[in-house]
């Protein structure tokens, strides 16, 4: 059956078919315009865990998502699919997470663990993960797919950023997050989830980092922002809220964010950028943050500006016992993927 024949025979108003692809869509991965790369990895999480189960939980929740998108009629026809779940990575993550957890616990008790051989093993495992992600992403980019990544913790998309640099050249990062993630080898881990943007800025082709919603950061990170000569532009949550109290609309705030971005943009979305009522199980929830529609409105303004979102990630989704966070993430994933495809002219 051709893709068109599948479209003609598919009922987008019916119950999600869990024997079909992601979101209950009838397409093969090859027929999907967007490919989601799952990365079940959380070796260096420093507070709550569970993000290693995020990709599977989001996939499972996707079958409950209604397919009507107010921004694009029949968006589902383009197709969104997830590549095979790498359970070997999940198993590897669980192994090295235990090693990291021991180091963190000893460190928290005042012990000097800086010379522990575990660091080398963990950093090597994270380096291998980075190479794995880069290779997978490049493979789909060369097939002209729109690529999204689902973590896992926020360390997972570094290999994706390297793939984008190789494939597209210069680009900027739009980071939606509660945390600045600019720590240098946080807790001794070179590839810590709290170091993702510090590491991203080592990529020469990353010309700009625009951070939105940041509300939990240290002085060292603030110093990095202030010393960046404009390469980092941070819209702190406090400043956004205070501007709104003084009368600035969200549209006006979004206009300022969009104006700070270059033409090619990578969207990196940590779920804790949302109000924690929407992600209570995420690893490091922080009071404040955005409503889901605020984030979608911002992305819509990026698309309307004519700027191109070259790829995206959603990270730090820990489903919890009620799987609420995955429920929220699955709906955001569908809307964001459609907006990203729209920005690419699909």
pLDDT for 280-289, tens place per residue?
999 889 999 9
pTM value is: 0.96
Please report whether residue 19 resides in a domain: no
Range of the domain at 316: 33-66+83-343
Please report whether residue 72 resides in a domain: no
Please report whether residue 156 resides in a domain: yes
Please report whether residue 43 resides in a domain: yes
Please report whether residue 16 resides in a domain: no
CATH code of 255's domain: 3.40.800.10
Lowest pLDDT segment from 47-51, 153-157, 262-266, 333-337: 47-51
Q: What is the mean pLDDT of the chain?
A: 95
Please report whether residue 177 resides in a domain: yes
Rounded average pLDDT over 109-124: 87
Print the SS3 string covering the chain.
CCHHHHHHHCCCCCCCCCCCCHHHCCCCHHHCCEEEEEECCCCCCCCCCCHHHHHHHHHHHHHHCCCCCCCCCCHHHHCEEECCCCHHHHHHHHHHHHHHHHHHHHHHCCCCCCCCCHHHHHHHHHHHHHHHHHHHHHHHHCCCCEEEEEECCCCCCHHHHHHHHHHHCCEEEEEECCECCCCCCHHHCCCCHHHHHHHHCCCCCEEEEEEEEECECCHHHHHHHHCCCCCEEEEEHHHHHHHHHCCCCHHHHHHHHHHCCCCEEEEEEEHHHECCCCCCCCCCCCCCCECHHHHHHHHHHHHHCCCEEEEEEEECCCCCCCCHHHHHHHHHHHHHHHHHHHHCCC
- Residues 179-228: tens digit of each pLDDT: 999 999 888 788 989 999 999 999 999 999 999 999 999 999 999 999 99
pLDDT given for residue 71 in this prediction: 92
Please report whether residue 307 resides in a domain: yes
- Residues 74-100: tens digit of each pLDDT: 999 999 999 999 999 999 999 999 988
Number of domains in the chain: 1
pLDDT given for residue 52 in this prediction: 95
- The pLDDT-based confidence of 101 (bands split at 50, 70, 90) is confident
Please report whether residue 2 resides in a domain: no
């Amino acid at each position: 059956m051709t893709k068109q024949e599948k479209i003609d025979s598919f009922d987008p108003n019916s119950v999600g078919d869990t024997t079909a692809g992601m979101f209950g869509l009838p397409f093969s991965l090859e027929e999907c315009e967007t490919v989601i790369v799952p990365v079940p990895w959380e070796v260096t999480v420093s507070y709550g865990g569970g993000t290693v189960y995020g990709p599977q939980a989001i996939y499972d929740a996707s079958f409950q998502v209604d397919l009507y998108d107010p921004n694009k009629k029949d968006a589902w026809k383009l197709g969104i699919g997830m590549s095979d779940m790498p359970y070997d990575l999940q198993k590897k993550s669980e192994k090295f997470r235990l090693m990291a957890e021991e180091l963190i616990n000893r460190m928290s008790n005042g012990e000097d663990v800086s010379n522990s051989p575990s660091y080398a093993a963990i950093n090597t495992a994270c380096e291998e993960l980075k190479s794995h992600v880069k290779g997978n992403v490049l493979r789909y980019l060369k097939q002209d797919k729109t690529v999204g990544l689902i973590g896992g913790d926020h360390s997972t998309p570094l290999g994706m950023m390297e793939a984008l640099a190789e494939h597209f050249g210069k680009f900027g990062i739009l980071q939606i997050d509660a945390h600045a993630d600019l720590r240098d080898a946080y807790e001794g881990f070179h590839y810590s989830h709290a170091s993702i943007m510090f590491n991203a800025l080592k990529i020469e082709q990353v010309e700009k980092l625009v951070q939105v919603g940041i509300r939990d950061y240290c002085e060292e990170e603030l110093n990095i922002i202030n010393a960046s000569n404009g390469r980092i532009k941070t819209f702190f949550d406090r400043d956004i809220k205070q501007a709104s109290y003084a009368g600035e609309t969200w549209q006006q705030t979004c206009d300022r964010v969009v104006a700070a971005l270059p033409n090619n943009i990578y969207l990196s979305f940590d779920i804790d950028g949302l109000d924690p009522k929407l992600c209570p199980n995420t690893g490091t929830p922080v009071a404040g943050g955005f409503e889901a529609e605020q984030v979608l409105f911002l992305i819509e303004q990026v698309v309307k500006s004519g700027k191109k979102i070259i790829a995206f990630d959603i990270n730090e989704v820990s489903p919890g016992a009620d799987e609420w966070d995955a429920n929220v993430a699955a709906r955001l994933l569908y809307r964001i993927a459609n907006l990203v495809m729209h920005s690419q002219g699909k």
